Amino acid sequence: DKPVWDQHVLKNIGEKAPSYTAKNKISEAKLRYADIENWYKKFLTSDKGANWIEQFNKLIPEHDKLTDLKKVDLILWQTRG
């Protein structure tokens, strides 16, 4: 029930992980994760988010036990540039 922290997901939502060498890396990571959660909350209630879920459900009906958040996770994870 939580978003995935992954390089592909981060890139697709316009976020970046904190620098590995940053002195405040942990606090920055917590803030970034909160940004990720906020992005999902907004996206899932948007028209575009509803469209993604609708398309996912049409194309992959056997995955009806996945939450909408996890459906978006999979789409973002699979979207590579």
Whole-number pLDDT of residue 66: 93
CB atoms within 10 A of CB 72: 24
Model confidence, pTM: 0.87
Q: Determine contact, residues 3/37, Cβ cutoff 8 Å.
A: yes
Higher pLDDT, 47 or 80: 47
In angstroms, the Cα distances linking 63 to 24, 30, 45, 58, 75 are 39, 30, 20, 10, 13
Q: Determine contact, residues 38/64, Cβ cutoff 8 Å.
A: no
User: pLDDT-derived band of residue 65, with 50, 70 and 90 as boundaries?
Assistant: confident
